[in-house]
Amino acid sequence: MTTRAPSSAKRRTVPSPIPLAPPVMTATLPSSLPMEPSAKLSAGVYGMEAWPVAAGGTIGVVNWVDAHTHLFSPSQREARGEIAERDRTFAEMYGSPEAKMATVAELLGALDAAEIRHAVVAGFAFADERDIEEQNGYLAEAQRCSRGRVAVVATVNPGLAGWERQARQALDAGAVGFGELRPHNQGWEPLEPAGRALCGLARDAGAVLLWHVSEPVGHGYPGKEGGISPVELCRVATEFPGVKMVGAHLGGGLAYYLQMPEVKAAIENVYFDTAAATLLYDEQSVARLVDLAGPGRVIFGSDYPLLSPRRQLQRLLGQLPGDVAKQVCGGNAERLFRIATTHE
């Protein structure tokens, strides 16, 4: 089990402010939706200001949502090597300078290029309390300064002493859930006391749990292991039916077992996202997932910056009927993550 770092451990300071350039708005906006002037907010520790958004809250015709993206603060990206020395899973996935790490400004630019209105953002399942605190602070300010375009699922590590304080702070700052959860990388078990406490907190707060779910067969890749298996997700969801959960990466294949009546009845609280589907499965995998789980339980996610939101969205829009695409690529995530309530 991961333990809290001693108070004497060297702490990295965050420069203030860190300048972030506003993204370029590349989406075509109807003339009836003029751009609002950017209301200048206090820069805060990360040097962010509010970015301009389209009046009326839409880019294009439909409110598309990318419900699986990842962000890091600029200082964490700069400290990649230092973090990799103390976090084995981070080193596996991001230790190479070639591994992509994105800031909120870069995410908003990618969303604009894809004409996607909103994103659900996660960070990384850090082991160390210092890294979690910095990341959650960055995500909270990114949400505030995006003026409703970004919803946050915060980082949490139930293997650390005092994790509940960090979790509640994240909820108080506006987080709508926790994830992407990697219990076995962090050293806790989903159905032992720490995991049960997290599920109980999520149930009481109405927070969503986004789990990294790995397919148990097939090729290996950095970060495949360390989340939960489809079997574990089924067990956790069954024991906590009042908690909304998302099985990332098509739920690692769990949806296939929805053809069993007892499984279908037991995990009605589980949704499935499409993150990294093109790296794992064939071209028709999402269409089959919709057939198995129903269009109301599948959620579009690109896994940005690993993959392009624009390409992933275009791929799904070309495969799914119009009404189904509106649910999968927008409406389901808006309801699940309460995105509509964050509009300004």
Q: Specify the higher pLDDT residue, 10 or 209.
A: 209
pLDDT band at 18 (very low <50, low <70, confident <90, very high): very low
Q: Mean pLDDT over residues 129-157, rounded?
A: 96
Q: Mean pLDDT over residues 156-164, rounded?
A: 96
Q: Specify the higher pLDDT residue, 47 or 212.
A: 212
Q: What is the pLDDT of residues 242-281, one digit of tens each?
A: 999 999 999 999 999 999 999 999 999 999 999 998 988 8
Give pLDDT, residue 46.
Answer: 55
Q: Specify the higher pLDDT residue, 158 or 48.
A: 158
* DSSP code string of 280-326: HS-TTHHHHHHHHH-GGGEE----BTSS-HHHHHHHHHTTS-HHHHH
The overall pTM is greater than 0.75? yes
pLDDT band at 40 (very low <50, low <70, confident <90, very high): very low
Q: For residue 271, what are the β-bridge partners?
A: 246
3 state SS for 149-215: CEEEEECCCCCCCCHHHHHHHHHHCCCCEEEEECHHHHCCCCCCHHHHHHHHHHHHHCCEEEECECC
Give pLDDT, residue 47.
Answer: 52
Give every strand in the sheet of 118-122, ordered side by side. Answer: 65-70, 118-122, 150-154, 177-181, 208-211, 245-247, 270-273, 298-299
Give pLDDT, residue 282.
Answer: 83
Q: Can you read off the two tokens belonging to residue 288?
A: 């089959």
pLDDT band at 340 (very low <50, low <70, confident <90, very high): low
Say what percent of the chain tops pLDDT 90: 74
Give pLDDT, residue 60.
Answer: 53
Say what percent of the chain tops pLDDT 70: 81
pLDDT band at 35 (very low <50, low <70, confident <90, very high): very low
- Please tell me the least confidently modeled range out of 49-58, 76-85, 237-246: 49-58
Q: What is the pLDDT of residues 274-320, one digit of tens each?
A: 999 898 888 899 999 999 999 999 999 999 999 999 999 999 999 99
Tracing tokens 């915060």 back to the chain, one arrives at 154
Domain residues of the chain, as ranges? 66-342
The end-to-end CA distance of the chain, in Å, is: 42
Mean of the per-residue pLDDT values of the chain: 85
CATH 3.20.20.140 fits 66-342, yes or no: yes
